[in-house]
């Protein structure tokens, strides 16, 4: 019997859903026959009971077919995208789209909003006054064809079932589920008409996957489903045991992106992750024959200023300012209060509880606790000192950006509580753990 509560019961009891039942659930998400409580219940049942490979494939394909599926017959170069499972301070998409499109690929990037403690690419772009994250599909295709890149939010036309499910997962503690993550990511990516995809699967205390085993399982799930669907996919497992780059927070991460692309400052760990993912994208599209050639292409795109110009033109064409590179704060709101956070003792920063720092930003208003909540794009952290840094008591280890003194005082306390100090140098964590084809 196809009733919402009966289909939920099947998965709640740990049984496999049929293709028909999965299609009914996805149709119910799209047409509203499953209400929010029922969608949340099914998400929790999947979270608790899991799905087998056939279920994930059917689920992904049903989500993909819930809306428009793009194709790019008019483009003469490969179409590629990158997706991250999310982290704190992860602004890599901006750099990658600019670099890889400067090397000859087309990058139609359909991005998401913040999920749980992680920041969202779309939320960061909306920190820029005037930027339109929701152009029509014809406008999106024109931008990609003319610029080589465009980053937009999920539209009502592309995988609309996932758009609704994504928002419900965010507020029902059902984010960290391999079937849900796989279907969410790939429904959008397969609907984008890609030739190749690079997955950045984060692992660590600031990631959805906390250990290498679960991260590998997710990476393998995504690679299996995507390659099986005809999209050449490589998954790269990267570290999220600390904030990526030296900032976390929507407007602050746009500023760091500008600094990175213009060469003003490239935080070393962030740069290594960007380069490794860009190499994957260039190699898997056939634009580079090996990693060494890809690295040369990446350096040329950055050093020539082509990547920075690509990003600047995209911002302007999508409603933002013409001078973002020169005056990033001209089109974004600054926090009312900026506070230097001082090291309470001398030693080494030994560890960072990254998820707690992400949730601190959410509490400050930089993320959502409800579906329709407005975001304060100005709050967050910058000048973040990475794990392994030697500090003396009184050194600045981060800056807190908040709306008032009370908020900044609480965030400062929470930031320090998320750090661990040591008298001795700790072993540095790798940026990249594993590559899965």
Catalytic residues: 81-84, 121, 169, 184, 188-189
Q: 135 near 43, Cβ under 8 Å? A: no
Name the 3-class secondary structure at 202: strand
Query: By C-alpha distance, which of 207, 268, 277, 212 is closest to 241?
Result: 207
Contacts of 159 (CB under 8 A, 6+ apart): 63, 64, 66, 67, 187, 188, 191
**In the block, which residue shows the tokens 């670099």?**
99
Q: 325 near 318, Cβ under 8 Å? A: no
Q: 89 near 69, Cβ under 8 Å? A: no
Report d(CA 234, CA 279) in Å as an integer: 11
Name the 3-class secondary structure at 193: coil
Query: By C-alpha distance, which of 72, 97, 66, 102 is closest to 84?
Result: 97
Q: Is 171 exposed, middle or buried (0-12, 13-18, 19+ CB in 10 A)?
A: middle
Report d(CA 291, CA 279) in Å as an integer: 6
Q: 365 near 376, Cβ under 8 Å? A: yes
**In the block, which residue shows the tokens 């397969």?**
190
Report d(CA 397, CA 247) in Å as an integer: 12
Q: Which residues of 345-370 are buried (b: 16+ CB within 10 A; e: fewer)?
A: eebbbbbbbbbbbbbbbbebbbbbee
């Amino acid at each position: 019997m196809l009733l919402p509560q009966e289909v939920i019961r099947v998965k709640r009891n740990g049984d496999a859903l049929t293709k028909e039942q999965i299609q009914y659930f996805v149709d119910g998400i799209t047409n509203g026959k499953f209400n929010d409580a029922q969608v949340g219940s099914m998400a929790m049942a999947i979270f608790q009971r899991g799905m087998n490979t056939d279920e994930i494939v059917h689920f992904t394909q049903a989500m993909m077919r819930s809306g428009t599926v793009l194709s790019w017959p008019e483009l003469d170069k490969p179409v590629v995208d990158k997706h991250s499972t999310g982290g704190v301070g992860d602004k890599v998409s901006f750099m990658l789209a600019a670099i890889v499109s400067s090397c000859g690929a087309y990058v139609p990037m359909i991005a998401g909003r913040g999920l749980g403690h992680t920041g969202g690419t779309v939320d960061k772009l909306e920190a820029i006054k005037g930027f339109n994250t929701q152009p029509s599909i014809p406008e999106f295709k024109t931008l990609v064809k003319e610029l080589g890149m465009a980053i937009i939010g999920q539209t009502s036309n592309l995988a609309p079932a996932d758009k609704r499910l994504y928002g419900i997962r965010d507020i029902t503690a059902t984010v960290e589920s391999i079937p849900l993550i796989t279907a969410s990511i790939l429904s959008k990516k397969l609907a984008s008409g890609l030739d190749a995809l690079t997955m950045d699967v984060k692992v660590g205390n600031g990631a959805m996957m906390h250990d290498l085993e679960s991260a590998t399982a997710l990476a393998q799930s995504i690679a299996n489903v995507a390659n099986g669907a005809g999209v050449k996919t490589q998954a790269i497992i990267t570290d999220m045991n600390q904030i990526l780059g030296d900032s976390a927070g929507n407007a602050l991460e746009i500023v760091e992106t500008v600094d990175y692309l213009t060469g003003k400052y490239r935080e070393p760990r962030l740069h290594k992750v960007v380069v490794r993912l860009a190499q994957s994208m260039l190699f898997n599209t056939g634009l580079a024959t090996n990693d060494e050639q890809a690295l040369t292409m990446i350096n040329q795109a950055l050093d020539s200023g082509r990547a920075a110009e690509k990003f600047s033109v995209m911002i302007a064409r999508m409603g933002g300012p013409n001078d973002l590179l020169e005056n990033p704060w001209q089109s974004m709101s600054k926090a009312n209060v900026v506070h230097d956070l001082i090291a309470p003792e001398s030693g080494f920063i030994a560890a960072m509880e990254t998820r707690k720092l992400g949730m601190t930003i959410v509490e400050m208003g930089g993320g959502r606790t409800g579906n329709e909540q407005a975001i304060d794009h100005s709050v967050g952290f910058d000048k973040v000192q990475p794990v392994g840094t030697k500090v003396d008591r009184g050194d600045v280890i981060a800056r807190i950006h908040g709306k008032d003194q009370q908020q900044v005082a609480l965030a400062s306390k929470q930031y320090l509580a998320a750090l661990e100090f040591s008298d001795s140098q700790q072993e540095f964590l790798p940026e990249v753990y594993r590559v899965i084809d």
